Amino acid sequence: MAAERLSMRKIREVLRLDAAGESQRAIAQSVMVARSTVREYLQRARAAGLGWPLPDDLSESDLEARLFPPAPSSAVRRPLPDWAEIYAEMKARRRTGVTLQLLWLEYKQTHPDGLQYSHFCDSYRHWRGGLDRVLRQEHRAGEKVFVDFAGQTVPIVDRSTGEILFEAQVFVGVLGASNFTYAQACRSQELPEWIGAHTRMLEYFGGVPRAVVPDNLKSGVRHPCFYEPDLNPTYQDWAQHYGTAVLPTRVRRPRDKAKVEAGVLLVERWILARLRHRTFFSLAELDEAIRELLDRLNDRPFQKLEGSRRSLFTTLDRPALAPLPPTRYDFAQWKKARVNIDYHVDVLGHLYSVPYQLQRAQVDVRITSDTVEIFHDGRRMAVHRRGRTRGGFTTDPAHRPKSHQKYLEWTPSRLIRWAEQTGPRTAELVQRILEARPHPEQGYRACLGLLRLGERYTAGRLEAACARALHVGALSYRSVKSILSTGLDQLPLEEQTTLVLPQNHEHVRGGAYYAAAAGE
């Protein structure tokens, strides 16, 4: 927008204060005009060869004529710059250091009778304002890619029954400077699909932009916040792998995502609309059709610019992208967990060991298809091959306390003594559970759960339930819990038999073993 027209008195004051070394901000405050107005009048004065003090014989009308020369007559046609070339140069200005003033100086060297600087700037802004909204946004080369899911979905149909299996989502990514577009079909908007689409998008681009700008989608942003959006840890892990930043759009700021919304609209009109009459029986089939139309979209010539999205990508964004890392991102889920007294962490039903000193500590767990990594205070404390057996143990022998066992808070003998406070049958069952494990620590969790049943039921009922479990040979926490929840502990045993453990069997450790192991 052109600056407001000032009185000649104010213009003289602007020139005087500038010559006195005042900043443009201070001049604007003194004259009570916008700083952009001060800047434009100083540029006009320099273009007209005027400085302070002004010539004594320069009248106000002469000053106005010098600052605001009439538009060139139609009879004298000054050579115009190639505005599309100027626009492309300005798009790449971060990479090249180009400014509009430098481009005007180069233009004047070729065309000395060409436009003056102010007219050059005004004409360029007018030309740029005639571009499509999505094209005239200012974005630096290689700086940002805007991502989101399209609102329109595509049904995937069962070939044999004709039933719709699921509605495929369409992921869209748009580079800021060139508007080069990526699209692919996804099974859902869940986190694995979201991360996988990002990875394939960067591979399609052949490089990594400095930032990724998603909408506040739940897959990528757990808690949308105007100032500090909380990123999903997997999304953050992905960004760290590729050396980029994630900058979610601000809440209730539609201009932040105008680029991707325009890209989504293009994909819906130029790709999905053309596929509306086709039936797809697999995600791969849909993806192949999208890719074919996507290439056409990127190769389609601009209406008001030379070239296409692909040609702009080749000259602007592609040279400014960072290289891809040597390895592809391995999808990882993160979760928080607490280490149990058996120094194992429950991860998706399987138990993994950590150094015994971390008992009761809260840890972060990174889960990939093959490995489980456990972190505490930002340091990796354990890494295991992922186990698939539910309820199974994966234990690193180095994590066991060994000779330092006497310093542990929890020991087998302590658990047995605790159980004796409830009754002899409870203590006996705890001992039998510990003996049934290759390593006693693997039974800690079950014993602890067993003893905590005493918080819900009376000591008498827990003792009766343990007696019944011993009687029928159901030596587990779940069996005792089931007996209590069904009330079987309140029924008389069919046959009251005192169970006495043999003390001289080679496979039975006995209480003396645990007391000796604990240094007692």
pLDDT reported for residue 268: 86
pLDDT reported for residue 105: 82
CB 370 within 8 Å of CB 332: no
Average pLDDT of the residues of the chain: 78
Query: How far are the Cα atoms of 2, 119, 135, 179, 493 from residue 126, in angstroms, in the given order?
Result: 10, 10, 14, 21, 95
Task: Give the 3-state secondary structure of residue 13.
Answer: helix
112 phi, psi to nearest 5 deg: -60, -30
Cα 61 to chain centroid, rounded: 60
Ordered alpha helix ranges (H), 185-282: 191-205, 233-242, 258-267
What residues of the chain score a pLDDT lower than 70?
Answer: 1-6, 71-77, 91-97, 129-138, 216-231, 250-260, 304-305, 402-411, 438-442, 494-520
Q: What is the C-alpha separation between 102 and 86, in angstroms, rounded?
A: 11
**55 cis-preceded (ω within 30 degrees of 0):** no
pLDDT reported for residue 250: 56
Residue-range domain boundaries for the chain = 8-67, 83-130, 144-320, 333-400, 405-517
pLDDT reported for residue 258: 61
pLDDT reported for residue 1: 40
pLDDT reported for residue 135: 45
Task: Give the 3-state secondary structure of residue 226.
Answer: coil
Task: Give the 3-state secondary structure of residue 155.
Answer: strand
Q: Check residue 308 and report its DSSP letter.
A: B
Query: How far are the Cα atoms of 220, 222, 244, 280, 332 from residue 233, in angstroms, in the given order?
Result: 9, 9, 14, 34, 9
Domain covering 144-320, topology: Nucleotidyltransferase; domain 5 (3.30.420)
Instruction: For strands 221-223 and 230-231, give the pairing.
Output: antiparallel
Q: Report which residue type is found at 213.
A: V
Task: Give the 3-state secondary structure of residue 509.
Answer: coil
Q: Report which residue type is found at 221.
A: V
The pTM of the full predicted model, rounded to 2 decimals, is: 0.51
pLDDT reported for residue 260: 62
pLDDT reported for residue 507: 46
Q: Which residues contact 453 (CB under 8 A, 6 or more apart)?
A: 462, 465, 477, 480, 481, 484
Angle 338-343-345 from CA coordinates, rounded to 5°: 45
- Kindly state the greatest CA–CA separation across the chain: 126
- pLDDT tens, 87-96? 777 766 555 5
Tokens 């006497």 -> residue: 406
pLDDT reported for residue 228: 38
**How many beta carbons lie within 10 A of that of residue 258, not counting itself?**
15
- pLDDT tens, 389-424? 887 888 887 887 764 444 345 567 777 778 778 788
pLDDT reported for residue 269: 84
Q: What is the C-alpha separation between 364 and 337, in angstroms, rounded?
A: 6
pLDDT reported for residue 510: 54
Dump the DSSP string for 390-406: TT-EE--GGGS-GGGGG
Instruction: For strands 181-186 and 211-214, give the pairing.
Output: unpaired
**53 cis-preceded (ω within 30 degrees of 0):** yes
- Residues forming a β-bridge with 374: 365, 382
